[in-house]
């Protein structure tokens, strides 16, 4: 009944919410509103996966959580800047069908989506740590 409280379920659900954008990235003639809705659904999935990691990290040490948050945030920003997939491959352009997106564009889109997930998780970790620092330890009062 209270299955929504388990972070593992958030991670599993978030993983399934990434499927529509993963499928739609391969087709270039998809209407824009459908693509935007699938991307929004993927962002919700990434937030669920990130939230599961943040909740898991709350059981550990705060210093470790802060270090992981900084590494995730900086690593995600670096991933945005270091996209390893080229914009176009000259020998593919003449014969590739226009209805199917070229593989390098799809790989680049997956890379950017993964970078967004890493940045969101790092930001969520640091924001949760900040809230936990102001809230204090559970069970103690500040008189």
Residue 75 near residue 126 (C-beta atoms within 8 A):
no
Residue 89 near residue 102 (C-beta atoms within 8 A):
yes
pLDDT at 116: 92
pLDDT at 10: 82
Residue 119 near residue 76 (C-beta atoms within 8 A):
yes
Burial of 38 per CB tally in 10 Å (0-12, 13-18, 19+): buried
pLDDT at 97: 77
d(CA 116, CA 76): 7
Closest among 54, 42, 52, 53 to 17, alpha carbons compared? 42
Closest among 59, 57, 79, 82 to 67, alpha carbons compared? 57
Residue by residue, pLDDT tens for the chain (143 residues) are 455 567 788 888 888 888 888 888 888 777 888 888 989 999 998 888 888 888 888 777 888 888 989 999 999 999 988 888 776 677 777 777 777 777 888 888 899 999 999 999 999 889 888 887 787 765 555 54
Beta bridge partners of 100: 27
């Amino acid at each position: 009944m209270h299955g929504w409280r388990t972070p593992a379920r958030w991670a599993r659900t978030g993983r399934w919410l990434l499927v529509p954008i993963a499928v739609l990235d391969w087709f270039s003639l998809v209407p824009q509103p459908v693509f935007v809705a699938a991307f929004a659904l993927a962002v919700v999935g990434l937030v669920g996966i990130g939230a599961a990691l943040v909740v898991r990290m709350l059981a550990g040490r705060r210093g470790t959580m802060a270090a992981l948050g900084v590494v995730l945030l900086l690593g995600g920003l670096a991933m945005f800047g270091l996209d390893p997939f080229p914009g176009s491959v000259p020998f593919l352009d003449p014969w590739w069908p226009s209805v199917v997106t070229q593989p390098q564009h799809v790989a680049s889109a997956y890379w950017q989506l993964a970078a967004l997930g890493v940045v969101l998780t790092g930001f969520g970790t640091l924001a949760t740590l900040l809230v936990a620092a102001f809230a204090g330890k559970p069970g103690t009062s500040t008189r």
